[in-house]
Amino acid sequence: MRAFSANLFALLFLCALTTVFYVWSALESRVERHKRGFSVPGAGAAHLGIPADLSAKTFRALLAVPAAQRPHLGGRLEAPNLTDQSAAAGNRDYHVNGDNKSPAPREGPVELSPPVEDGVFWSEWLEDLLPEGFTEEYARAWRETARTRRIVKLEPGCGRISNQLATFADGTKACVRYGINADQVQGETLTYYLASLLGITNLPPLALSQLNGDSEQWAAVRSRIGGLQWSDRAVVSLTEWVSNLTGVVTPAPLRQESSGLHPEPGQLWNKTTAELLELMQWSDLILFDYLTANFDRLVSNLFSLQWDSRVMERETNNLLKTPRGDLVFIDNEAGLVHGFRVLNMWEKYHNTVLTSVCVFRKRTMQRVEELHRRRDARRRLLELYRDSEPLSLELGFLSDEHAGVLQDRIDRVYKHMLHCKGKYSQL
């Protein structure tokens, strides 16, 4: 009887924490939107008849950390890096494809060319329309300059207070991720380099830096660093700030009332080209989040359906979009390291999301197949990471256990792709 009473009390306490965090997150979201002057895009909550301030988050942060740390939580994991239209004036169009003369996406439904080829692959004509994203050449150049640029200002603007929006001497900006613990910076960084291995170019460039108030890069903000109580010599990540981004709502085929994203004529053939291009990027995102066990995007929304039946109709966590429709995967700190630590808590939701997709980019499947066949994901990720980051030894790498988890998840994605190919190759 005593054990039953103790369990009942623990359950009631968790429910109370859930309610408090849910309400607090909604209020915090309202304040954040007010500060930024954020307007919901046409496909967002306003279009669905949902009040713009109803952007409640889950209590994913509460569940993701050890119980001893829970009282210290208070904010969202990350706020979108949104700015107004004028802030983007003069900015480069970061999504460029060659000479940037590719035609604008058609708005009418697909009538002539099928959107899928060889059963489960997005058609080549769609691949040709999708710009390259953050190319490796651009990312390499950005990393080289970001590591040496003088930082002249640190201010809130990248979500939780432990992260800061940095302004460089040349006026460009980056999000500085300090992280509550090393897992977050390590997860963000290794997730970025795994995306590079997979050929996924939706993540903004990232570079590591070491805090040092006496260095030329950090000297101008030495007092601010002290006020933030950041530890000297800590390794932080710098991620390029991209302005003029808006939120993204989960597309209808991936919501709970739908059967998923499958290569069936009735589902894809009536979509506009713009809709297909977005769905193509979502297919990459879902595979990527499964591989990294990132629970802080679509998976957390799926989890929230228990008490919020309309969560899928609001914006997806840590996912933004450019004016021309290109998706930007931000704030990946929950991936790999931390995501693997709490895998048992989220795995059934990861599996549900993965099996909802049976259409893939051919390049992505080829990369997954290669990593599956050679079984060298750990070695290749480590080599890329160490070759690209001078501070890789200071930050560290995946444990052997987590490297094994990554390889297992690559194998699982490959088997899922084969299952879909076998099911739909005759259509």
As a three-state string, the secondary structure of 139-200 is HHHHHHHHCCCCEEEEECCCCCCCEEEEEECCCCEEEEECCCCHHHHHHHHHHHHHHHHHCC
Contacts by residues 10-18 (CB-CB < 8 Å, ≥ 24 positions apart): 17/59, 17/62, 17/70, 18/59, 18/62, 18/307
pTM of the model: 0.77
What pLDDT was estimated at residue 96? 34
Give the bridge partners for 261, in sequence order: 357
Q: Give the total residue count for the chain.
A: 427
Q: Residue 137 and residue 133: Cα distance in Å, rounded?
A: 11
pLDDT band at 258 (very low <50, low <70, confident <90, very high): confident
- Of the listed ranges 92-101, 124-133, 180-189, 216-225, the one predicted with least confidence: 92-101
Share of the chain above pLDDT 90, in %: 60
pLDDT band at 181 (very low <50, low <70, confident <90, very high): confident
Burial class from Cβ neighbours inside 10 Å (0-12, 13-18, 19+) for residue 137 reads exposed
Q: What is the mean pLDDT of residues 42-62?
A: 34
- Of the listed ranges 67-71, 406-410, 415-419, the one predicted with least confidence: 67-71
Look up residue 183 and give its two tokens.
């897992």
Report the side by side order of strands in the sheet with 315-321.
246-249, 315-321, 327-329
Burial class from Cβ neighbours inside 10 Å (0-12, 13-18, 19+) for residue 92 reads exposed
Q: Is 25 helix (H, G, I), strand (E, B) or coil?
A: helix
pLDDT of 18 higher than 50: no
pLDDT tens per residue, range 128-147: 999 889 999 999 999 999 99
pLDDT band at 6 (very low <50, low <70, confident <90, very high): low
More confident residue, 257 or 58: 257
Q: Residue 288 and residue 282: Cα distance in Å, rounded?
A: 10
pLDDT band at 112 (very low <50, low <70, confident <90, very high): low
- Per-chain mean pLDDT for the chain: 79
What pLDDT was estimated at residue 324? 86
